[in-house]
Chains A and B, each alone.
Chain A
């Protein structure tokens, strides 16, 4: 029986910008109905963009090209380092260059279905439409996509999709796309249309008279806290995967920008929708600071197994065939090692929980290429997977040709984020969220090679069109720096940093992050139960209290202080984690990346409950330790009929 006492339910949230009519015409219609700002007036409008990844970099460059005055921020030393750069696989686009039956409609369908029917149809259709233009744009910028000998673009298939629609640049697609956006952005910086603040972190949102009008940011080098005002604020600060401490995110990726916006009134949608990637290199000890992903294509030829008995300490090659458990092949004879990401991840967790995991801490399973090498020869395996084997060998110092690799799932992406309408505007007027920072397009599960597509779609094409409308419909006035809301935001920020410095306790910030991460991984990771989530919801506030009593942050706030930066981000993670667990608790169904053990089919598949949960859960902040308000956005499926996934 679900306990509803920890949250209250408010009015449904409605996407008032969603246009009506045939789905294929909605984006055109929205663009036509949008009001425009006279090009001559644009330079008088200032837009703040926080983050310089694919979404933020693309948006900053494009808005500046349109004539707006852009003020942009990133915490890194250069806008080129945003974590979009680490994406490996590729970017989807419905170009149909292969003549293999791909179409905008098919990409739309695959994405809605892949998201386990928890995404908004209009948004996803627009994403599929825009995908085509993204490739054109990137090629024009000089992105060196892989090409065939005829000089045309190469594509590959990805993530179980039946068409070949993924464009790629070896294993560094994210890097190449980001550098394209970064170069476009630096062109605008050099032209003076973008005012770039690197090594500057947004710490609060300034909301004046109900509209987002600026941010409070800290110069990470001088420690100076400044206010920046604008006509609109765009958050492109990425996802919150680092709430788990260990993830494939960059070490400094954080949720501060979106969390502070949430605290200032932006609803946070579906925080429990997190994606776990099954083929990551397992942690090697407590010192581990992050996890590294390896392309899941490895599962095409590798066989996954663990010893049959628990506590088997023998080296893998000393374990005879009959004492190995190829558990995916045993449990899913039809799909074997190629079951979808979530299923492979959960199965690995289960065998490790049984004590049959391998490697340090028993948190790993074998991915064995011995059969593939025997069947096709070492050269063939090297040709296909050479670079991945090299990466594995560098990190683990083990030779994957001689002994099986060890892999384990890891947090990789967050589908949840700030709730936005069709215009990508949050519930705070004038505050927009793009890329991974919003919740909009992937539902409960993201398909491979779709994150890059969404980031660039939002940044290059969607936001620049919809922001016009907002700016044109609102008065162009200046913010009074003496407004109480401004003073309050600055004071909040300063107080909080001073408090962190003043605790002078006996634990490092990192130790709290590690503890929080372990708790979340256990209770709100691959498989979630009501008991576990309640346990986490009980523990998180305690941990938060302990943090504010025992954390030690050395140094001062007046110069580069990386411990202070880190502690401040962890403080936000400690708040966000609670909402995440609460969302997971309230959603008593399994869907996509959210697996509730209570809600599964007899053969262990995720059982969706469309009757009760066909909605996006948008949460309103009411205060720390106070019950948040749930606003449902009902999802209507007119074009894709929800079905239950099955892989048995």
Chain B
């Protein structure tokens, strides 16, 4: 396959960036999108250019490191992570636009690499259960009904890639935050910190400069792990509940 790539190149956080065009040949339809970029980068290195910087690690769709906006869609046309997107979903001769996640809270570091540390700070504000090592009761001391455990799991699947923020026209992190709030708040182990968790995490989210939710649903459409949109409603419910309890 032969492709024309228009890739966002930016040398540093404070430098201006621009879309740069590259023609790449010798693309196999079996390549992943990242392997296609590897291929481009090898050519750039040999040509004396700087390769395109992009985040990636596990390359099996679970670490959440990779992510770029491909033809205007977070992670591209398939509902999966960029590393699991294969070139067979494109046609020979296509022009593909590749851009970094765009959000004020995710400043560009270089090329397609952005700083998502705001997510870590949201988790640090309350996205945990306080259970110091050694203090745990016997695992079977509290039974957790299977539907509750399944709901927790469904929300715990979030990989923190940031596609929800990138897809949201408001740069909102509601889906990411709600996934963790719901995961922990439905479990009996998470109950003691239920109110403070949601209040603190929403507070941290707002403080990081993420936008507000206008319920466009773009986040859930882009989410490679299928975190459902109603989880935002569930977080709102938890939030109102916490407010009404006066905490």
Contacts and interface: CB of A to CB of B under 8 A. Distances in A.
Q: Does B bind A?
A: yes
Interface of A: 58, 61-62, 65, 76-83, 85-86, 95, 97, 133, 135-142, 144-153, 169-170, 172, 175-176, 179, 182-184, 186-187, 189-190, 196, 198, 221, 248, 250-253, 284-285, 287-290, 292, 394-397, 460-461, 464, 506, 508, 510-511, 552, 554-555, 559-560, 562-563
A559 B63 contact: no
Contact of B143 (A62, A133, A151, A190): A151
A250 B58 contact: yes
B21 to A, nearest CB: 19
Given A76-B65, A137-B136, A189-B124, A510 B187 contact: no
A151 B144 contact: yes
Given A85-B58, A152-B140, A559 B28 contact: no
B131 A190 contact: no
Describe B's contact surface by its main secondary structure. Answer: loop
A76 B117 CA distance: 11
Contact of B51 (A288, A292, A563): A563
B246 interface: no
A598 B152 CA distance: 52
Contacts of B125: 190
Given A80-B160, A86-B58, A142 B187 contact: yes
B143 A150 contact: yes
A510 B42 contact: yes
Given A136-B138, A140-B129, A190 B124 contact: yes
A552 B35 contact: no
Interface stretch (B108-116, B164-172, B233-241): B108-116
Nearest to B38: A289
B143 A144 contact: no
B58 A187 contact: no
Contacts of B184: 142
Nearest to B42: A508
A563 B45 contact: yes
* Residue among A136, A150, A288 with the highest chain B CB neighbour number at 10 A: A136
Interface of B: 11-12, 28-32, 34-36, 38-39, 41-42, 44-46, 48-51, 53, 55-60, 62-65, 80, 84, 86, 88, 109-110, 113, 115-117, 119-121, 123-125, 127-140, 142-146, 149, 152-153, 156-157, 159-160, 183-184, 187, 189-190
A389 to B, nearest CB: 15
Contacts of A464: 133
Contact of A78 (B56, B117, B157): B117
Contacts of A511: 42
A285 B31 CA distance: 8
B62 to A, nearest CB: 5
Nearest to A146: B149
Given A147-B146, A289-B35, A555 B120 contact: no
Given A190-B124, A562-B51, A250 B140 contact: no
A144 B138 CA distance: 15
A141 B59 contact: no
Contacts of B123: 80, 182-183, 186
A141 B127 CA distance: 11
* Residue among B31, B32, B50, B124 with the highest chain A CB neighbour number at 10 A: B124
A140 B190 contact: no
Contacts of B142: 139
Given A284-B28, A288-B35, A554-B48, A170 B153 contact: yes
A248 B113 CA distance: 24
Given A80-B64, A144-B152, A560 B109 contact: yes
